[in-house]
Structure formats: C-alpha cells, structure tokens
Amino acid sequence: MTDRLEVSFAGVKLRNPIILGSATPSRDGEASKKGGLAGAGAIIPKTITTPALLSQHPRCGRLHFVRHGRRRPFGMVNTELYSTMPLEEWLDRELAIAAEGGAKVIASIVAEGAPEETVALAKRVEATGLVDMFELNVSCPVSDAHVGQNMVEQNIEIVVTQTRAVKEATSLPVGVKMTPNVSDMVPIAQAAKDAGADFLTISNSVKSLAGVDIETGKPYLPAYGGYTGPAIKPIIQRFVSEVARAVDIPISAVGGVRSWEDIVEYIMLGATTVQTVTAVMWDGYEVLDKLVSGLSQFMERKGYNSIEDFRGITLPHITTIQEYAACPPKHVILEQEKCDDCGLCLKVCFYDALYTDRQGHLNTRPENCDGCGLCVETCPRQALSLK
Ligand SMILES: Cc1cc2nc3c(=O)[nH]c(=O)nc-3n(C[C@H](O)[C@H](O)[C@H](O)COP(=O)(O)O)c2cc1C
C-alpha cells in the first residue's frame, strides 16, 4: 500500500478508496474487522436498524446464484434484510471490534421510518465516537417500505426528509445510498445534495426475482430480492456517470466490482471511492488485498500519483446516441494469420459480411458490413476488428 492510494472522501481521509460495502461480510464486528485487516480503506457494517424495525430475514435460503446452465455465476439475488443484531450490541461491542481492523467505519443506518427515529439512531451511533461517517440506507429493495420506490417523486421526498433530519442532528459527514430502481437518478441525487448530503453511494441492489425451478414450477426465492454482482455493473455505471456529470458531489460507486480493473473503471467514471460486496461473498476477504495491490500497481504503471489524476477522465467521452450515430461508419477487417476458421463469427453476422471462400477460409465483404461489431466481440482470437 502506498500514499498514492490515499483519498479524501467527503472530508475523511481513507488509506485507499476501496470499501467493504454493507452486507453479510460485515454482519458484525468481527466480520467487519476482517475487511479492515484485509486492506479495505473503509468498512460499512451491515445496516443498523431501529428497535422498531428490527426484523428477521428468511433463514430457509435467501441467496440464489444466477448463471447460464452450470456455468460460473454472473449475478446473485438475495432476500436479506437489515442487521438482525440489536442496536445495543452494535453500540456496546460490535462497532468497537469493527474499528480494530484499521479501516475507517462508515455506519449504515436504516432511514425508512419516521425521520425522528433515524435521527435518534444516528445520535446514539455518533455518541460511540467509533464511526467516521454515516450512510443512510433509504433504498433496500427487499424491504416492504420501498414498494413504491420506483416513483422518482416519492424517492426524492424520502431522501430529502431523511437527509435533512440527520444532517441537522449530527456533525459527521452524511451520505445517501441511492436506489437503482428508478428511471432517472439525477433529480434524486440533486435533491440529496441540496438537502445537505456530503456524498452519494450509487447504488443499492437491483430489485429482481431469482428465477423459476422448472421441475417444480416454484420460484427459487419466493419474495422479490436484490440483484448484485458482475451482471449489474453496466446498470450502475450508467447511473454513476450520469450523476457524476450532473451533480457535483463525491460518489461511492458499488455494483459488480470483482477486479481492480472494475475499480479503475468506476474512478474513471467519476467515483471517489468504490465498494464491493458480492466479490467478497464469492471469493473471500482476501479479494480486498488483491484489489488494493492491483489498483496500486496500475497507478504506478500509469504514473498516477493520486486517483484525482484519472478520476472522471471517461466522462467527456460519453456522448448522445445522435452524435454517436453520426460518426463515420467502420467496416470489418480480417487478419487472416490470426484466424483459425472456427466459424463462430459466421453464425453471428446478420449482414452477410463474412463468408467461407472456396479454399475453406474465412473472408469478408466489407461493403455488406453494417459496423455492428458483434463478430469482433465473438472472435476468440482477436482476428476481426472494425476500421
Ligand atoms: C446478501 C446481501 C446483503 C446486503 N445487505 C445490505 C444491507 O444490509 N445494507 C445495504 O445498504 N446494502 C446491502 N446490500 C447491498 C450491497 O451493499 C451492495 O449495494 C450490492 O450488493 C451491490 O454491490 P456488489 O455487486 O458488489 O455486491 C446487500 C447485498 C447482499 C448481496
């Protein structure tokens, strides 16, 4: 770990921008501590609830892998609610243990009841002196409180009232964990900033159904859950980039991070910190150390002395579909020496721009090519490109 990884996030100095997000791997003090010991810059213990909201989550299976056939999973659906540990235990013991890992502690608190309840919770957590920031969880897709949260207006109201109340009552930086279950996040992000939010976490998991067991006709998980892991990265990257371009507020990106390259992508899209959860659930805490060293080596190789050297550099290159459609067309080019005539590209060309010649070798008809790039993506030998 080197100083080049150090970041100032909403005024709090983190040893690196990689955060263990709020979920099962931070379910209590000992678990959270492991995240710190594995190298995370900050850890977010599982969302702490008010006594009134403390609820049981399903204990008859609540995690389901999403995959094609028997292949490696590309996503996961969970029906897990908030921490089932009573507030007193977090206050008396668990937060202190969490802090022992050497990472900053960001307290995720539930913010779905009456704002006074959220404030009372925040005050008690702040009084421990053990946490550095708050993350308001207004966005759990599993909770019944969010049945109507796809309505932007309704979401703005929750975000504004909860953020204002907690900001007025505490002195720590306050972030809002956004929902991705909306058509447009920008107005909600702007409203959160105007209400005093110091940062935004983008985002919580994508509301989903885990799938159907076709032998029994029953759903794998009989309640709607949250979709996480690599499959959601493009969805969350859209939101991170849209908010980063429109609202001037630090962003903690979370969704599908499994490699250091994912972290670099999110920083290039404007994030200041990046959280990960499913990767730790699939690969163990040691993935955090790999993420930290991978990011450090990348920055060294590129000569970046701080993440500010490359934060947001992708944003000016994101354009409108109209401008993109006006770019000069490209056509398929074949590098014959790389091609082994496997024929995979022939199946995916819908424009008759590829064919097998009399000698049995792949050849191109660039004049037919529509420049879609599907053959380029399909070729396992990088023999095709668009020029
Ligand atoms: C099993 C599980 C439990 C979760 N519990 C919480 C939670 O208590 N509070 C919260 O804010 N987010 C919770 N999340 C959402 C994660 O913090 C994160 O937003 C989401 O998993 C996307 O990141 P990922 O793709 O890296 O997993 C949970 C996610 C999972 C998989």
259 CB-near residues (< 8 Å, 6+ apart): 291, 294
> Ligand 1: which atom is nearest the Cα of residue 230?
25
Q: How far is the CA of 227 from the centre of ligand 1 (A)?
A: 9
> Ligand 1: which atom is nearest the Cα of residue 257?
26
pLDDT at residue 56, rounded to an integer: 87
The DSSP H or E segment spanning 200 is: strand 199-202
Three-state helix/strand/coil letters over 289-306 = HHHHHHHHHHHHHHCCCC
pLDDT at residue 24, rounded to an integer: 98
Domain 3-317 top-level CATH class: alpha beta
Mutation probe of ligand 1 site: the residue of 47, 277, 288 with most atoms within 8 A of C-beta: 277
What are the residue boundaries of the structural domains of the chain, listed by start?
Answer: 3-317, 328-386
Residue with tokens 């790999």: 290
Report how far residue 97's alpha carbon sits from residue 230's, in angstroms, rounded to the nearest whole number: 30
In single-letter form, the type of residue at position 200 comes to L
pLDDT at residue 143, rounded to an integer: 87
For domain 328-386, say whether CATH 3.30.70.20 is its number.
yes
User: What does the DSSP 8-state code read for residue 328?
Assistant: P
Asked about 140 being catalytic, the answer comes back as yes
Structural contact between residues 195 and 109, judged by C-beta atoms closer than 8 angstroms: no
* Both structure tokens of 113: 């009841």
> Ligand 1: which atom is nearest the Cα of residue 137?
11
Give tens-digit pLDDT for 27-68: 999 999 999 999 999 999 999 998 777 778 999 999 999 999
Report how far residue 255's alpha carbon sits from residue 262's, in angstroms, rounded to the nearest whole number: 10
Q: How far is the CA of 348 from the centre of ligand 1 (A)?
A: 36
- pTM score, two decimals? 0.97
pLDDT at residue 1, rounded to an integer: 46
Residues 285-289: contacts with CB within 8 Å, 24+ apart?
285/25, 285/34, 285/35, 285/37, 285/38, 286/38, 287/38, 287/258, 288/18, 288/20, 288/35, 288/38, 288/39, 288/40, 289/38, 289/39
Report how far residue 36's alpha carbon sits from residue 103's, in angstroms, rounded to the nearest whole number: 5
Q: Residues of the chain whose pLDDT is less than 70?
A: 1-2, 146-150
* Both structure tokens of 65: 């892998």
pLDDT at residue 282, rounded to an integer: 98
pLDDT at residue 47, rounded to an integer: 97
For the CA atoms of 315, 246, 244, 133, the dihedral, rounded to the nearest 10 degrees, stands at 170
Ligand 1: which residues within 6 Å by Cβ?
21-24, 46-47, 78, 80, 82, 108, 137, 177, 204-205, 226, 228-229, 232, 254-257, 276-279
Judged on CB neighbours under 10 Å (0-12, 13-18, 19+), 373 is middle
Report how far residue 262's alpha carbon sits from residue 242's, in angstroms, rounded to the nearest whole number: 18
> Ligand 1: which atom is nearest the Cα of residue 204?
19
Taking residue 324's Cβ as centre, other Cβ atoms within 10 Å add up to 9
* Both structure tokens of 177: 């964990």
DSSP letters along 228-295, please? ESGGGHHHHHHHHHHHHHH--S-EEEESS--SHHHHHHHHHTT-SEEEESHHHHHH-THHHHHHHHHH
pLDDT at residue 154, rounded to an integer: 76
Q: How far is the CA of 228 from the centre of ligand 1 (A)?
A: 7
